[in-house]
Amino acid sequence: MPRRRPALPEPPPRVPPPHEAPPRVPAPHVPAPHVPAPQEPPQLPPRHGAPAHEPEPRTPQCRTREAEAPRARWTAPGRAGEVTAITTAPTDPRSPDLGPNVLLLHPGQSDAQQRVDEITRARRTDQFGEGRHAVLLLPGHHRLDVDLRFYTQVAGLGALPDDVVVRGRVRVEADWLSQLDDPTGLGNATQNFWRGAENLSVTPPPGRVERWAVSQAAAYRRMHLRGPVELWDGRVGWASGGLIADSRIDGPVDSGTQQQFLTRNSELGAGWRGSSWNMVFVGTTGAPAHSYPDPPFTTVESTPLVREKPFLFVEGDEFRVFLPALRRDCAGTSWGSGAPEGTSLSLAEFFVAHPGTPVAVVNSALERGKHLLLTPGVHRLDGTITVRRPGTVVLGLGLATLTGETGGPVLVTSDVPGIRLAGFLVDAGRAGAPVLLQVGEPGCGARHSADPTSLHDVYLRVGGPWAGRAEVSLEVNSSDVLIDHTWAWRADHGEGVGWDVNTARDGVVVNGDRVVAHGLFSEHYQRHSLLWNGEAGRVYFFQNELPYDPPSQAEWSGGGARGLPGYKVADHVRDHRAWGLGVYCFNEADPTVVTDTAVEAPTAPGVRLTSLVAVSLGGVGTIASVVNGTGGAADSSRFVSRVARYPA
pLDDT for 117 equals: 98
Task: Report d(CA 180, CA 298) in Å as an integer.
Answer: 31
What percent of the chain clears pLDDT 70, i.e. is strictly above it? 87
In this prediction, residue 64 has a pLDDT band, given cuts at 50, 70 and 90, of low
**Active-site hit among 545, 555, 588, 600:** 545
Residue 641: what are its φ and ψ, rounded to 5°?
Answer: -135, 140
Residue 15: pLDDT over 90: no
In this prediction, residue 88 has a pLDDT band, given cuts at 50, 70 and 90, of confident
- Is 0.95 topped by the overall pTM? no
Residue 166: pLDDT over 60: yes
Residues 163-188 have a mean pLDDT of 92
In this prediction, residue 180 has a pLDDT band, given cuts at 50, 70 and 90, of confident
pLDDT for 400 equals: 98
Residue 76: pLDDT over 80: no
Residue 22: pLDDT over 60: no
pLDDT for 87 equals: 57
Residues 315-332 have a mean pLDDT of 98
Residues 378-394 have a mean pLDDT of 98
Lowest-pLDDT choice from 5-14, 94-103, 457-466 = 5-14
Determine the 3-state secondary structure of 118 from DSSP: helix
Lowest-pLDDT choice from 3-12, 161-170, 223-232, 328-337 = 3-12
Residues 368-376 have a mean pLDDT of 98
Q: Indicate the average pLDDT of the chain.
A: 89
CB 377 within 8 A of CB 402: no
Task: Return the biggest CA–CA distance within the chain.
Answer: 72
The helix (run of H) or strand (run of E) holding residue 119 is helix 112-123
Q: Which residues contact 247 (CB under 8 A, 6 or more apart)?
A: 220, 221, 222, 223, 224, 225, 266, 267, 333
pLDDT for 182 equals: 79
Q: Which value, in Å, is the radius of gyration of the alpha carbons in the chain?
A: 23
- Helix/strand/coil (H, E, C) string of 36-93? CCCCCCCCCCCCCCCCCCCCCCCCCCCECCCCCCCCCEECCCCCCCCCCCEECCCCCC
Q: Which residues contact 77 (CB under 8 A, 6 or more apart)?
A: 83, 84, 358, 360
- C-alpha torsion sign, points 636, 540, 545, 574: negative
Q: Which amino acid is at 183?
A: P
CB 237 within 8 A of CB 187: yes
pLDDT for 393 equals: 99
- C-alpha torsion sign, points 568, 570, 571, 576: negative
Task: Report d(CA 96, CA 373) in Å as an integer.
Answer: 11
Between the alpha carbon of residue 267 and those of residues 162, 178, 240, 317, 331, the distances in Å are: 15, 34, 22, 32, 9
What percent of the chain clears pLDDT 90, i.e. is strictly above it? 84
Q: What single DSSP character describes residue 359?
A: H
CB-side neighbour CA atoms (13 Å) of 202: 31
Lowest-pLDDT choice from 147-151, 176-180, 548-552, 569-573 = 176-180
The helix (run of H) or strand (run of E) holding residue 121 is helix 112-123
CB-side neighbour CA atoms (13 Å) of 21: 17
- 545 among known catalytic residues: yes
Residues paired with 258 in a beta bridge = 239
pLDDT for 9 equals: 31
pLDDT for 41 equals: 37
Residues 204-211 have a mean pLDDT of 96
The helix (run of H) or strand (run of E) holding residue 366 is helix 359-367
pLDDT for 4 equals: 32
The helix (run of H) or strand (run of E) holding residue 609 is strand 606-616
CB-side neighbour CA atoms (13 Å) of 71: 20
Residues 24-52 have a mean pLDDT of 36
In this prediction, residue 185 has a pLDDT band, given cuts at 50, 70 and 90, of confident
* CB environment 21-42: b (16+ within 10 A), e (fewer): ebeeeebeeeeeeebebeeebe
Task: Report d(CA 381, CA 198) in Å as an integer.
Answer: 28
Residue 407: pLDDT over 70: yes
Residue 578: pLDDT over 70: yes
Residue 23: pLDDT over 50: no
Residue 74: pLDDT over 90: no
Q: What single DSSP character describes residue 554?
A: T
pLDDT for 58 equals: 61
